[in-house]
Amino acid sequence: MSGVRRAGTVLLVAGICAACGSSHPAPPPLHVANSYLGLDCGNAFPCPHLGIAVWLKAPASRVTVTLHGRRVTLVTHRRYEYGRAWTGFVRDRVAERLAVADDMSRTVQLTVDAVGPNGIVRRATVRSPVSPGWG
């Protein structure tokens, strides 16, 4: 077989294999049990310091949230809720304006990425109201 034919055959087989997709099943969806957003201002108001809390139905080893294009890494205490309760803080002027409206009817979209104990990343998108207070 000539080198050109062999290269063509290799490319054809690679293209067919790539078109077949993965034989691995898709990971199960991420289930977010609850989420909470609230301004954490201390004595200054209004403020853009936003607290984020996310409760997952299954434990995770790492959780990040994307809010208005900003990625926030959340933290947990392993003893609390067994790695299912995660919190973090970010400055977000959009959420500040919504919280100042104080009607709790306006929500923001959060994209939650969680790495499970098995290393698989799962994602969920949730909408959460913004509270004028944290805690």
75-113 per-position pLDDT tens digit: 998 666 678 999 999 988 787 777 666 555 678 899 999
pLDDT digits (tens, 9 = 90+) for 14-25: 555 545 555 667
C-alpha–C-alpha distance, residues 82 and 117, integer Å: 12
At the top level of CATH, the class of 32-131 is mainly beta
At 48, which amino acid appears?
P
**Hey, where are the domains in the chain?**
32-131
Q: Among positive and negative, which fits the CA dihedral 73, 78, 84, 88?
A: negative
Which pTM value belongs to this model?
Answer: 0.74
